[in-house]
Amino acid sequence: MDTAELTEEQRLMRQTCRDFVDDVVLPFIRDEWQREWVMEPEARVPKEILEKADEVGIRTLGVPEEYCGIGLDPNSEVKTFAIIGEEIARGDAGLADKIIQNWKVAMLLRNLAPKHLQEKWFARLLEDPQFLLAHCLTEPRGASDRWLPYNVPEASMHTRAVRHRDGWMINGRKQFVSNGYDAGLFVVYANSNPEVGMLQGTSSFLVPRDTPGLTIARCNETMGCRFMNNGELVFEDMFLPEDHLLAEGNALGQAGVYFQPGKVMQAAKNLGIGVRAFEVTADYVQNYVQGGAILIKHQAVALRLGDMATRLEAVRALLDRASRAVDAGSPDADVLCNMVKLFASEEVAKVAQHALELHGGNGVMLDFGVEKLYRDAAIFLHMDATTDISRFKIVKSMFPHTAGTYAGSA
Ligand SMILES: Cc1cc2nc3c(=O)[nH]c(=O)nc-3n(C[C@H](O)[C@H](O)[C@H](O)COP(=O)(O)OP(=O)(O)OC[C@H]3O[C@@H](n4cnc5c(N)ncnc54)[C@H](O)[C@@H]3O)c2cc1C
């Protein structure tokens, strides 16, 4: 991004974050590459990394100023998130997932949670550098129906919320949840009215980790972004008091404040992986000699590098447009968010493939570090909706009366 387009605040934050990535994150990733494969999820990321992220002020973005957060300019907040998100992911995409989930859920809480619970949980988030937030939508029966969404009762969530005395009883399970293994606070979506479609019958709740009836069932061992612990949760007769209800019935609509910036941040993290792939490849091809010359002097190699750079600039341009649209609340923000999330995932997957191939055999060696970028990039094809579902969502919003109707009905 052209530095001239950034505000003073954005430039300073980006530089601080860049220094953190260069001085702390990248040396850790390079020197302790085996840590990714430690099969004890809580031991993968050293505590100091999140402590350092906290020190440089990037761990709790999204927390409102009135709760002692950093008050970013609301006119360019999502763009700032995108700039900082890209930088963290240049260091490590899993770490970026871990941290950014806090920003995204904080945005939801500040819009929907009652004041006394915002006070309580923002304080917890600020005081404990290891504290994480999670957002639980996906269930074993699949997430695509929810993303589209098909607004018919048969496509609704299986997790049920039933009114119970002065609160709610929740039963069900969630899977594939970012930070699901180690979060201290969860936002959980459940079907509170099976007679109607999910846009009218889904409610959302705040669920503290120590709520009786909540079990963290497992940590999923993912192929990439491994420094974020993805988890599975089970709810068995889990009672929640009334004030833990965030939105009743229209929770999916209300979640727009989470999903739009969320997709921008997905694309931004994805771009960070691509930027890192380009950096290491540009370095490699200008130093590694084959056929009597450094690689970049061979035209086939130079062409690939040109292709990588062009794809990254195209992603960056669309990301800039989408993040500005969200900040401005413009009507095309939603469709642009889906477009950039989709576009980034496919372009950066190709960029990472070029990086892998240009490194030859070194590209697939774990200790060399390049194959990690390829694995991390692959994850983004599935997160926050698959590529096919994202395309479908784009067309659905353009042609709601034809593409938008339920494929299962006549
Ligand atoms: C690393 C990671 C982190 C995640 N984090 C979270 C999180 O924090 N919270 C959360 O709630 N979820 C999270 N998810 C879940 C993610 O949103 C889903 O995995 C994704 O939306 C796809 O859903 P699914 O896996 O259930 O696939 P399915 O919905 O089962 O889809 C399987 C296949 O069928 C295709 N398909 C399905 N329906 C249709 C249709 N109608 N038309 C055409 N094709 C169709 C899909 O495109 C896909 O190819 C995460 C996933 C990953 C991988």
SS3 assignment for 9-32: HHHHHHHHHHHHHHHHHHHHHHHC
pTM of the shown model: 0.96
Q: Which helix (H) or strand (E) holds 202?
A: strand 202-208
**How many whole angstroms from 341 Cα to the centroid of ligand 1?**
14
Q: Which helix (H) or strand (E) holds 186?
A: strand 185-191
- Reported as half-sphere exposure (CB side, CA atoms, 13 A), residue 50 has a value of 24
Q: What is the pLDDT of residues 371-393, one digit of tens each?
A: 999 999 999 999 999 999 999 99
Q: What percent of the chain has pLDDT over 70?
A: 98
Whether the predicted pLDDT of 405 surpasses 80: no
Does residue 373 have its Cβ closer than 6 Å to ligand 1?
Answer: no
How confident is residue 410, by pLDDT bands cut at 50, 70 and 90?
A: very low
- Residue of minimum CA distance from atom 12 in ligand 1: 138
Averaged pLDDT, 296-325: 98
| Distance separating alpha carbons of residues 197 and 150, to the nearest angstrom | 8
187: β partners: 135, 206
Averaged pLDDT, 319-331: 97
Does residue 147 have its Cβ closer than 6 Å to ligand 1?
Answer: yes
Q: What is the pLDDT of residues 39-86, one digit of tens each?
A: 999 999 999 999 999 999 999 999 999 999 998 999 999 999 999 999
**How many whole angstroms from 288 Cα to the centroid of ligand 1?**
40
**How many whole angstroms from 126 Cα to the centroid of ligand 1?**
31
Q: What is the pLDDT of residues 139-196, one digit of tens each?
A: 998 899 888 888 888 889 999 999 999 999 999 999 999 999 999 999 999 999 999 9
| Distance separating alpha carbons of residues 145 and 132, to the nearest angstrom | 27
| Distance separating alpha carbons of residues 5 and 199, to the nearest angstrom | 39
**How many whole angstroms from 37 Cα to the centroid of ligand 1?**
24
Mean pLDDT for all residues in the chain: 95
Q: What's the token pair of residue 62?
A: 């999204």
Question: 186 to each of 104, 156, 297, 320, how far by Cα in Å?
Answer: 12, 20, 52, 30
Q: What is the pLDDT of residues 231-262, one digit of tens each?
A: 999 999 999 999 999 999 999 999 988 999 99
Averaged pLDDT, 129-135: 98
Question: 205 to each of 109, 319, 368, how far by Cα in Å?
Answer: 10, 31, 44
The DSSP annotation for 280-320 comes to HHHHHHTT-EETTEEGGGSHHHHHHHHHHHHHHHHHHHHHH
Does residue 192 have its Cβ closer than 6 Å to ligand 1?
Answer: no
Averaged pLDDT, 108-121: 97
How confident is residue 409, by pLDDT bands cut at 50, 70 and 90?
A: low
| Range list of H helices, 286-404 | 299-328, 333-358, 370-379, 387-398
Averaged pLDDT, 303-307: 98
| Distance separating alpha carbons of residues 59 and 96, to the nearest angstrom | 10
